Amino acid sequence: VNQVELHPRLVQTELLDFCRQEGIVVQAYASLGSSDSNQQESFFALPPVKAAAATHGVTPAQVLLRWALEKGALVVPKSTKRERMVENGNIFSFKLTQEEVSAIDKLHTGTRFAWKGLDPDTVE
């Protein structure tokens, strides 16, 4: 299992493809955002995420978790609130279209938010 930061601003396509080819399971973290940095942007407010949520009658959080699943990653969202735990588990009643997945993928900027934005490719 390879646990990696995965969200609309860090899509990790090359890594996901490599892991898939090598039979490595990817577990996503920070799919809903990170409180570990000064991330000022809410992934919930990104237009393709909001549009998909409205289309499917679900929350933006559910769209983000479903997107990560459809990218081939396992998700482990953290919550201490029962209602959010239930909401996070209800991501199997809908499927994103390829167009919706692609629209979210296009939000990629390569930005890391977890671990205070440290990029493991540049830290010695």
- Model confidence pLDDT, tens digit, residues 48-96: 999 999 999 999 999 999 999 999 999 988 888 999 999 999 999 999 9
Average pLDDT (98-112) is: 95
Q: Which of 14-23, 34-43, 69-78, 105-114 has the highest mean pLDDT?
A: 14-23
Distance CA 30, CA 76 (A): 9
Structure tokens at 98: 């390829």
Distance CA 52, CA 23 (A): 30
Distance CA 79, CA 70 (A): 21
Distance CA 8, CA 33 (A): 9
Average pLDDT (20-34) is: 91
pLDDT band at 120 (very low <50, low <70, confident <90, very high): low
Which residue is listed with tokens 């081939």? Answer: 72
Crossing angle of helices 98-105 and 60-70, rounded to 10°: 100
* Phi, psi values for residue 28, rounded to 5°: -90, 140
Whole-structure pTM value: 0.88
Q: What number does CATH give the domain 2-117?
A: 3.20.20.100
pLDDT at 101 (0 to 100): 98
